[in-house]
Amino acid sequence: EPQRLTDDESYSLQITADRIQLSADSPLGALHGLETFLQLVQQNHSPAAAGFSVPYVDIRDQPRFPWRGLSLDVSRHFIPVDEVERTIDGLAAVKLNVLHWHLSDDQGFRVESKKFPRLQDYGSDGSYYTQAEVRAVVAYARDRGVRIVPEFDIPGHSTSWLPAYPSLASGPPPYNIVHEFGDPSGVIDPTKDSTYKFLDGFIGEMVKLFPDEYFHIGGDEVSAKAWTSEPHIRDFMKAHHIANAAALQALFNQRVQKILAHRGKRMAGWDEILQPDLPKSILIQSWRGEKSLAAAAREGYPGILSAGYYLDLMQPASQHYAVDPLHGEAADLLPEQKKLILGGEAAMWEELATSENLDSRLWPRLAAIAERFWSPETVSDAGSMYDRLKEVNLWLEWLGLAQRSNLDLMLRRPADR
């Protein structure tokens, strides 16, 4: 039974002189309560009272938003399974409940397909997750109250599909996986029925690996020129009265959404997918600015905020902490529209990150964003947040996260020979 967006996450924790009581209506709430309890455990340093203690508390707790995630790019630089799992430990510790796994991009295709094995063989440098590893990570996350939402970015950011399957491409071969970063090049051809037949087969295989209700199709930064510079695509647009590339992408999205719906999945995508005529069941992830989140909600689409939470930009925790999914234009929405704003996701893009410096990019700033998604809007004092962040940073190290130890190692390396 997969974890669901609608699961009850509340818990209560009472600690008195003679007992500790944790109550929750669901296992997910109990997991959150256990994390709070672990956070409360203190090591006593006085010799007279050696050991551990917890303070007396009476906590009744529940999250403000049901979707609290991290979007993790593993295409630009591959992140091995044990580090993905270590990241999940951190997410669970700060009560984040979604790992959005960005599994394919121009620079690498990172999941084994048994149906189309050329995808990983030609679309990666040999670093990808086997299906057994994917299943293990999904189960690991499930045990810690974290949903895994897979993303396969299409029709743009999809160069890594094309060395293996050039017939999917809008333009002529050759295509090679990209080793730099910058303007995305390869774009899937939305005009051919064979494209959708392929995607139906691929998605049919992937939905068996990823039990979550949501399936992310990316949809960001599609090069209009990759389409409009191709005569056969221009002819298709003319014949079907398609005015521009955005309208062509809308048609692509409609067909992909039907494939996903047929497999029982809800489609999620970056805010470029917010175009007319898609069913209201899809989810909009706002990255180009908070405006798109409010625009989606006004049209009846659920959404999550990522603009303002890009950890790879190396902004201070206080800057992320000040961003709120219900600020900006969202603050003026009607109450029923506000309910469509389900939360947010931090994003970690890996162009300049590897498994070695990943932890120092994520932590401890991600904990400040986690608090933003969990705690009331009124909890917003940055000084107070930094007091907690200092403690949380040390506590995360107890759990095995290496943001400080790896940093020290990396700093010493150029000096020590």
Q: What minimum distance in Å lies between the beta carbon of 324 and ligand ACM?
A: 20
Distances (CA, A) of 233 to 133, 173, 226: 39, 16, 9
Q: Which of 152, 161, 270, 321 binds ligand ACM (CB under 6 A)?
A: 270
Give 85 or 221: the residue with its C-beta nearer to ligand ACM.
221
Burial code of 232-252, b = ≥16 C-beta within 10 A, e = fewer? Answer: ebeebbeeeebeebebbbbbb
Cα 173 to its chain centre, rounded Å, is 32
User: CA-CA distance, 233 to 193, in Å (whole number)?
Assistant: 13
Please state, in angstroms and rounded to a whole number, the distance separating the CA atoms of residues 2 and 71: 19
Rounded Cα distance between 7 and 30, Å, is 12
The structure tokens listed for 309 are 């939470």
Dig out the tokens for 283 from the structure: 């989810």
CB of 132 to ligand ACM, least distance (A): 29
Q: How many residues sit close enough to ligand ACM to count as binding (CB under 6 A)?
A: 4
In the bound state with ligand ACM, the residue whose beta carbon lies nearer, of 33 and 184, is 184
**Secondary element (H or E) of residue 14:** strand 11-15
Residue with tokens 């805010």: 271
Query: Is residue 221 among the annotated active site residues?
Result: yes
**Shortest Cβ distance from residue 294 to ligand ACM (Å)?**
18
Q: Does 351 bind ligand ACM (CB under 6 A)?
A: no
Q: From the CB of 289, what's the least distance to ligand ACM, in Å?
A: 12
CB atoms within 10 A of CB 176: 14
Q: Pick from 220, 312, 329, 351 the residue near ligand ACM by CB under 6 A.
A: 220
- Shortest Å distance, C-beta 94 to ligand ACM: 22
Query: Given 133, 221, 329, 397, which residue is catalytic?
Result: 221
CB closer to ligand ACM, 41 vs 313: 313
Q: Which is nearer to ligand ACM, 230 or 271 (CB)?
A: 271
Q: Which of 122, 202, 214, 287 binds ligand ACM (CB under 6 A)?
A: 287
Contacts with ligand ACM by CB under 6 A lie at 220-221, 270, 287
Active site residues: 221
